[in-house]
Amino acid sequence: MDNGERTEKIEAYGRGFDLLTATLAEIPKEAWKYKPSPTDWSPHEIVVHMADSESMAALRLRKLIVEPGTTLMAYEESKWADSLHYLEHDREDALQVIKYARQTTYRLLKNLPEDVLTHSVKHPEYDEPYTFERWLNIYNKHIPDHIEQIKNTVALWRKSSKA
């Protein structure tokens, strides 16, 4: 990844929370806890998941910067959602976690020294090293991917509520 592409991805990462809040503003109150199936997440659960995931992303980047060569913690997202009862969490609290995890990590990304770009850690779910580039590619897409998931769930809710 060259400097221009890296800068572009960092800036897109920095815009993620604003994209999310614009999408969430369009969700009808009745659709927030709609689950297309028992194993699918509602928009509410997706937001709570994102809070946990964005916190994890922030910690992973910091570990990548400070402790190269060490091992990251993996987690089973669906177990977290079930065991932590995501439907019972406060959505506004989750949004604040997302906002501040993104904001502080974006500022950190903007000021990374060049040598950090060569760091890697071990991730239990990957055979190859988990690099800065891999981290950026994953989390640059994290919010947009979940926005798409939320939009699809709301579309299914609209369709089912007309039936």
Q: What is the pLDDT of residues 143-157, one digit of tens each?
A: 999 999 999 999 999
Distance CA 130, CA 136 (A): 10
User: Is the pLDDT confidence value at 5 over 80?
Assistant: yes
Domains of the chain: 3-162 (1.20.120.450)
The SS3 assignment for 119 reads: coil
Question: What is the pLDDT averaged over residues 55-72?
Answer: 96
User: Is the pLDDT confidence value at 163 over 60?
Assistant: no
Question: What is the pLDDT averaged over residues 50-62?
Answer: 97
- The pTM is what? 0.93
Provide the mean pLDDT of the chain: 95
- CB-neighbour burial class of residue 37 (10 A; exposed 0-12, middle 13-18, buried 19+): exposed
- CB-neighbour burial class of residue 156 (10 A; exposed 0-12, middle 13-18, buried 19+): middle
Please tell me the number of Cα atoms within 13 Å of 23 on its side-chain side.
25
